[in-house]
Structure 1
């Protein structure tokens, strides 16, 4: 009797890989398992709508007040921006998951958000915190790396690819995620007048963003990179993706000041940063057009929230109060070596002053602390069962820490 072979892969009949023979064909165990996986995978994708509806039933829509409470635990100050973002997120997910509760023909459009504030004021942290506690995928992209399709750089659609990756390849989950586009002010055109030349990383990017921000079905490359003919593409509907754009918008306050008839020239510019917080809060859509954003893009970023420059008091609170505050992190690191770490109030103030002088915002606090704590951390195992106290002179590098 001739030895059986699989008609699909040619494998011989063995005890580990037995072959099932029929009237006209033979198939081995490996090919049966492979066929089963393919069929089950297709069934899952075809029934994706059912999976999505189950997710919707279990999605807890937090109220704006609950969302703001979550943000308060991690972001100091910026109450107005927190309220704007909380309301936008609440309305967005209520629109997705509760749209069938009322039977009428009214369609609710989504409200995307524009966050305006100086570097280190908490724009990215706000988006990260919201996404983490809603348990939705978040993709963060830098607008400066994006270019118009066909030019060197990242296609705008690549931000959607990153969201799919953040959702572990689950398209349905990605379609209800959040995309945060930072440095959006860096793609502003240089003037209000349209240029006759190609502006591939400025106005061109803004034009390319319009389609995905408003909501449409886009074809994205599964692994990112450039799209090219013949390449397999994934279709993603961006209608229910919340877009949050952020930027420092340096110089925007001068545009607002001119509009209000204020003097933007002169010698007394030392206190301008203190006054800018109030001025920037009055920003309107046409001020952003003057800055260089195209009207069509501003029209799709319906809610504008401004973040204040962080004060010295806020810096001290950022160091000590949030759940993941830097001082709490260092205290925990010291506790792992059975060492008690303490900071004097003057030391915290000095760290805050240094961060303000460097104009790096809250993100500059870590680099200052790393520098201050380097030598202490190097000798940390020797301080077991002792208390290390950081004084102002330690921060200023005029003295050693107190060891008791």
Structure 2
């Protein structure tokens, strides 16, 4: 290795290579090349290098030992996109934070069990929106799959391993990134065991068979999958993916679960004078995992989801907030689409109340609002060229005529 010598020259004819000014005190750096630096520039370079080295070492140390977000940061981000569901937001924010602490401790060879999440709620309450918002916040690949299309291996339909192939595709075939991704299994209640009271002789390939096949993936193991989505073929490329660090979120409406809780609590009493109890929105406070077993899920699958949260039905106030408050609210989306055509619209207070009332009657949650708004604005979009004014006023009378 060649050693370079540093010499101080007092020749005034030499010029600094940094500031390009003739100086008395010039240091020759690298004897083989004619490069000179004055004392002032050398001091500046030294301090800049020291600051840069200190900042990088601090940044690296922080990245290795501490997360850049907290449960409050996650909840604050979720508040921008999801209206209400405060209790569910807190539960999911803490579980996501603990999941990433688990990933960091895993690098230090400290084993902590994985905490998958099961979300129970009616349609339009925000189950899928939770998964999408978390994926956006964590900047990780997200695979959303429908459990209704899954069947046991060897039968017509998608194998359970195909959900990992979808995640790998979402990660642009980056295996390391896919092994830290998120999988959201929607409609998981549709794979419940069929004919619980009267079991059939035929094999339940889309119910209990799928539940049994999911156990291995949810727990965490090395699974051989094809890089292409579809049926298995000997010529397809096989990749081994480790599901130990993949976070699984599952959601379902679980229609009839409320009735199971009522029956377990013996709410319905025998007698002529006993009236049928009204629906109680706090009934899920008495929820137990055994209710899911009665519904049709096997105990082994429930054990893979240690965190279970329930999403309540939306109130009238929350319907109104969904129209205006979120970052990508419904009316903001239509505003942007109308501005593309250099148009705008105004909704009266009575018109907004009418939209909310009609959406609540549909009992579809936020999807009901999309259905009503799509019906209204589609007609206006079709006749945009015929409007003389750039601002359209939508009243309650107009909405009642359209819907």
> TM-score interval w.r.t. the shorter chain?
0.7 to 0.9
SS at match of 2:240: strand
Q: How many residues align?
A: 340
TM-score after normalising by structure 1: 0.78
Q: Please tell me whether residue 311 in structure 1 is matched to residue 315 in structure 2.
A: yes
Q: Aligned pair in 2 of structure 1 residues 336, 384: CA closer, same or farther (>3 Å)?
A: farther
Can you list the C-alpha shifts for 1:180-221, whole angstroms capped at 9, x where unaligned? 000000001135577654110000000000000110000111
Question: What's the CA shift for 1:106?
Answer: 4.7
SS at match of 2:168: helix
Contact 2:268 2:277 survives alignment (8 Å): no
Can you list the C-alpha shifts for 1:162-182, whole angstroms capped at 9, x where unaligned? 000100110100000000000
Contact 1:334 1:340 survives alignment (8 Å): yes
Which residue among 257, 281, 287 is the counterpart of 1:283?
287
Mapping 1:159-170, distance limit 5 Å: 159-170=163-174
Question: What's the CA shift for 1:268?
Answer: 7.2
The equivalent residue for 1:67 is: 74
SS at match of 1:219: strand
Which residue among 354, 365, 379 is the counterpart of 2:358?
354
Mapping 1:165-184, distance limit 5 Å: 165-184=169-188
Question: What's the CA shift for 1:314?
Answer: 1.2
Mapping 1:43-54, distance limit 5 Å: none
TM-score after normalising by structure 2: 0.78
Mapping 1:249-288, distance limit 5 Å: 249-263=254-268, 271-272=278-279, 275=280, 277-288=281-292
Looking at structure 2, the residues matched to 174 and 384 of structure 1 have their Cα atoms a distance apart, in angstroms, of 53
Q: Which stretch of the first structure deviates more once superposed, 320-329 or 366-375?
A: 366-375
Contact 2:268 2:276 survives alignment (8 Å): no
The equivalent residue for 2:216 is: 211
Which residue among 336, 361, 372 is the counterpart of 1:332?
336
Question: What's the CA shift for 1:347?
Answer: 1.5
The equivalent residue for 1:84 is: 91
Q: Aligned pair in 2 of structure 1 residues 165, 270: CA closer, same or farther (>3 Å)?
A: farther
Can you list the C-alpha shifts for 1:234-278, whole angstroms capped at 9, x where unaligned? 100000000001000000011111112212999977952xx2x31
Question: What's the CA shift for 1:324?
Answer: 0.5
Mapping 1:52-131, distance limit 5 Å: 61-100=68-107, 106-131=110-135
Contact 1:338 1:384 survives alignment (8 Å): no
Looking at structure 2, the residues matched to 84 and 72 of structure 1 have their Cα atoms a distance apart, in angstroms, of 14
Looking at structure 2, the residues matched to 218 and 71 of structure 1 have their Cα atoms a distance apart, in angstroms, of 32
Larger radius of gyration: 2
Cα-Cα RMSD: 2.7
